[in-house]
Amino acid sequence: MPHNLVVKTLYNCGYFVNLIMEKVGYIEIRVLGNKGNLDLTPDAYDIREVVLIIEHAEHLLFPGERKDRPLISYKIEEGSVKHIFKTGIQAIIGFNAVLGTIVSSGNVDFLDVSSAKAVEAFQETALKRDYSIMISTSLQETNTLKIDKTTNFVRNSVYWADAEFYFYGRITNAGGKDKANIHLVTDEFGTIVIQTPQKFLADSEENLLYKTYGIKAKGKQNTETGEIDKQSLKFDDLINYNTIYDEKYLDKLRDKAMKWLSEKEDWLGDIRGYNA
């Protein structure tokens, strides 16, 4: 076998072995633009912009409960400014499919709330700073999402309506220096953060931490999918939650319900002429 053919064969074998063995991939968020008269580079890129890119990248890759997510490593490179986020290849493959759907559909209404807000944040930055933002992956046949002043990747507000929710779980954190909130660990939604008035926390006579409560909250809900915008939740009321079976309490509820039904029956009888 000719030498060059042997080398080519070995190279191809090595490529496929590496492809199979590779467990890590990355997404690239490339920001192109200018700072005044200068082309955008990492040296001309403010740290606050870096922090926002990092935060939004995490929401793109792992929009749900993120405490058990895989490791994400980060580096910044030239050209104009490249943000590289490396993580497990499975997440990259899934994210590439999401990119493809955004590109083909031209909207973000199908995304989880946190992912949609991340794309909206990039869109806002592109408009405000006249940037062009390119999002792609390390996959050979990657999809590429371009966001600039000519695009309009924002959610359709028609899909989101004000709603009232009841959450039950254990409070693990309460307070905050500027924006107070309650962290509630629930079985159904994981940990949710509910904006809470500081006055309510200050006036509370008992220690709320590590106790189980119900919380009535207001927020936004997708009218088509039922998804809750967890970042919109605001405290409305605290509900004492007792899981102990209390028959006397249930009897009172039954008596109250029966009285209400009886009154309604009498009222219907009067309307229909049965009680005449």
Length of the chain equals 276
Kindly report, residue by residue over 157-203, the tens digit of the pLDDT. Answer: 777 889 999 999 999 999 988 889 999 999 988 899 999 999 999 99
So what's the pLDDT on residue 205?
83
Check: CB of residue 56 under 8 Å from CB of residue 118: yes
- CB burial class (10 A; 0-12, 13-18, 19+) of residue 120? middle
So what's the pLDDT on residue 245?
59
So what's the pLDDT on residue 140?
93
Residue 241: CB atoms within 10 Å: 13
So what's the pLDDT on residue 251?
72
- Residue 237 structure tokens: 């009321």
Set out the domains of the chain in order of their start, with CATH numbers.
3-155 (no CATH), 158-240 (2.40.50.140)
Three-class secondary structure assignment of 208-258: CCCCEEEEEEEEEEECCCCCEEEEEEEEEEEEECCCCCCHHHHHHHHHHHH
CA dihedral 8, 14, 15, 19 (to 10 degrees): 160
So what's the pLDDT on residue 266?
63
Between CA 53 and CA 58 the distance in angstroms is: 9
User: Phi then psi for 267, rounded to 5 degrees?
Assistant: -65, -45
Between CA 54 and CA 84 the distance in angstroms is: 10
The list of the chain residues with pLDDT below 50 reads 1-21
Between CA 134 and CA 152 the distance in angstroms is: 14
Tokens 């954190």 found at? 173
